[in-house]
């Protein structure tokens, strides 16, 4: 009869298994979503200076409004592509208590400012939303951002309602509008 393989008694595999489990345990926090805001949890607060001026805005001061927090950068093509759509969203829902907060995370604000000026001259409209600058990328880190761009829909009580990783397409934009309508009720 063939001798059975006994894993537990094996002198070689037991320390090996222990080592593998130690390594997995060590790397687990980075692989998990611990600390990442999820729908239904309070949105982490932040206070940042404006992209065009030094006037700081904190998320807490926007309580009572439905907020779409959009984290973007000028080197991110899809971030720039959705900006015009986001301007339209702000225009549509702004008067009803909606505030779009676009946080730029470029290493230097110059190209973001240039892009927004070009957008303004092309569309003949001011962006109309709150533009903040986060050189240290603290908001991206606090929100454990996993895609560029990412948008977070935050309700009037400061609770994260929805998370949208990636840029908005025509269909996801409709989903966003429906979620904003729902949050504004």
Partner 1 sequence: MKKLLLSIVLLALIGLAGCTEKLVRVQPYEMEYFAQDKMLFVPLDSRAVFEMHIFSIREASAGGLSGFQGGCGCR
Report the interface residues with partner 1, using CB under 8 A.
12, 15-16, 19-20, 23, 26-27, 29-31, 71, 73, 75-76, 105-107, 137, 140-141, 145-148, 150
**CB nearer partner 1, residue 16 or residue 39:** 16
Nearest distance in Å: CB 148, partner 1: 4
Quote the tokens at residue 178: 């429906």
Q: What is the C-alpha separation between 76 and 41, in angstroms, rounded? A: 28
| Contact between 119 and 95 (Cβ < 8 Å) | no
Nearest distance in Å: CB 146, partner 1: 6
**CB nearer partner 1, residue 12 or residue 38:** 12
Q: What is the C-alpha separation between 18 and 158, in angstroms, rounded? A: 44
Please give the radius of gyration of the chain, using alpha carbons only, rounded to the nearest integer: 22
Nearest distance in Å: CB 131, partner 1: 17
Nearest distance in Å: CB 38, partner 1: 18
**CB nearer partner 1, residue 144 or residue 177:** 144
**CB nearer partner 1, residue 27 or residue 60:** 27
SS3 content of the chain, % helix, strand, coil (to 5): 40, 20, 40
**CB nearer partner 1, residue 20 or residue 178:** 20
How crowded is residue 138: how many other Cβ atoms within 10 Å of its Cβ?
Answer: 15
Kind of pairing between the strands at 98-104 and 130-133? parallel
Nearest distance in Å: CB 87, partner 1: 22
| Nearest one of 141, 172, 176 to 161, comparing CA atoms | 176
């Amino acid at each position: 009869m063939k001798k059975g393989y006994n894993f537990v008694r094996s002198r070689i595999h037991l320390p090996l298994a222990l080592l593998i489990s130690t390594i997995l345990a060590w790397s687990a926090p980075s692989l998990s979503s611990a600390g990442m805001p999820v729908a239904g949890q309070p949105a982490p607060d932040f206070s940042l200076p404006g992209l065009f001026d030094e006037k700081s805005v904190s998320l807490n001061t926007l309580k009572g409004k439905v907020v779409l927090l959009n984290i973007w950068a000028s080197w991110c093509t899809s971030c720039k592509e959705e900006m015009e759509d986001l301007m339209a969203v702000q225009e549509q829902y702004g008067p009803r208590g909606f505030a779009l907060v676009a946080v730029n995370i470029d290493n230097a604000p110059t190209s973001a400012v240039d892009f927004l000026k070009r957008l303004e001259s092309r569309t003949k409209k001011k962006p109309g939303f709150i533009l903040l600058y986060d050189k240290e990328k603290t908001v991206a880190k606090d929100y454990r951002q996993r895609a560029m761009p990412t948008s977070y829909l935050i309700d009037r009580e400061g609770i994260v309602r929805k998370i949208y990783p990636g840029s908005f397409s025509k269909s996801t934009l409709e989903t966003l509008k429906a979620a904003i309508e729902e949050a504004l009720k």
